[in-house]
Structure 1
Amino acid sequence: MDLVIDIIDEVEELGEEARQLIIDILNLTAQKEGVNVGSEVSITLTDNERIQEINRDYRDKDQPTDVISFALEEMGEEEVAITGATDLPRILGDIIISVPRAKEQAEEYDHSFERELGFLVVHGLLHLLGYDHMTEEEEKVMFAKQREILAEYGLER
């Protein structure tokens, strides 16, 4: 058993191959990052209109985007970490992907839809695991991990 993955396909445009890609690349990323077996993640595949609503309501950006992640484990300064429970499954959070935006970006970057979908899934999961790209150094670390995982899976540019 790997991750517990809930895929919600609101656009109903993806076939079984795309669903399997999502599952496989989530599990590969989790394995490489040492995520405990049985940890949970939710993926919602939606359209530009819905992701724009979410982006506006939660990030104050009134425009569609490609991927949004909502981590359930974010540690603030005043929170207390639980120690000694290192082998427990985690509830990682939610990744929301705009399928139309992924298709647009695949064309824009001149690679396959599968490569773009894989990139967005890895990017979203790395955010759930605490990675970010707000500074140049953070971006180098996160993007190197993305390239490594995508290459290992066979989704290089």
Structure 2
Amino acid sequence: MALSVSIIADSKFPVDRKRLRAVLASAGGTLGIPGEANVSVAVVGTRKMAQLHERYLKKEGPTDVLAFPQQDSLGGQFGFVSPHDFPLELGDIVVCYPLALLQAAEQGVFVDDRIEALALHGLGNLLGEDE
């Protein structure tokens, strides 16, 4: 199993991309994701997260993490047939950097540790785990 991780983050949100990729790839193996798979992680600000939260969950204000699955909890796809020789597209994880920074300070941990925890939570959501 190989999980390919794409990370998009504005330069004002310093993220240890190499470490985040390694953590998610390791978790992908532990969680038993079948075959090759792709996931993307976007690190955004409070305003963008609030927009996404309102648009997709109809809730006001920012949240710390959102996950947008491409699959139906790996139980089936939304009407599309995926060839076996193509990687499985898990979906997108969006992490709010300012909220992660605030939570890290409250918990006494590094912001990269908190971002990893939020991204792992998002990965779990992509795989069908509930809150």
TM-score (norm 2): 0.85
- List alignment gaps of at least 5 residues for structure 1: 134-157
Structure holding more strand per residue:
2
Alignment correspondent of 1:13: 13
The worse-fitting range, judged by mean Cα deviation, of 68-77 and 104-113 is 68-77
RMSD of aligned alpha carbons: 2.5
Deviations 1:3-59 (A, max 9, x none): 2222111354315xx101210111011000111343110110100100000000000
- Displacement, 1:2? 2.6
Q: After superposition, give the CA deviation of every residue in 1:55-94 in whole Å (9 maximum; x if it has no partner).
A: 00000111111100001112589x78x8xx6x86310000
Q: Which residue of 1 aligns with 2:23?
A: 25
Match runs of 1:111-126 below 5 Å: 111-126=109-124
- 1:89 maps to which of 70, 87, 90: 87
Query: Could you say which residue in structure 2 is the equivalent of 1:105?
Result: 103
> Cα 1:52–1:66, aligned 2, differ >3 Å: closer, same or farther?
same
Q: What's the counterpart of residue 44 of structure 1? A: 42
Aligned residue pairs, count: 127
Give the structure with the higher percent helix: 1
Gaps of 5+ in 2: none
Post-superposition Cα deviations, 1:107-155, rounded to whole Å, max 9, x if no partner, equal 112222122111011101010011012xxxxxxxxxxxxxxxxxxxxxx
Alignment check: 8 A CA contact 1:11 1:47 kept: no
Match of 1:64 in 2: 62
Distance across 2 between alignment mates of 1:116 and 1:44: 15
What secondary structure, in the 3-state scheme, does the structure 2 residue paired with 1:111 have? Answer: coil
Higher relative contact order, structure no. (Cα contacts within 8 Å, ≥ 6 residues apart): 2
Larger radius of gyration: 1
Q: TM-score, normalised by structure 1?
A: 0.71
- 1:2 is the counterpart of 2:31: no
**Contact preservation (8 Å) 1:11, 1:46:** no
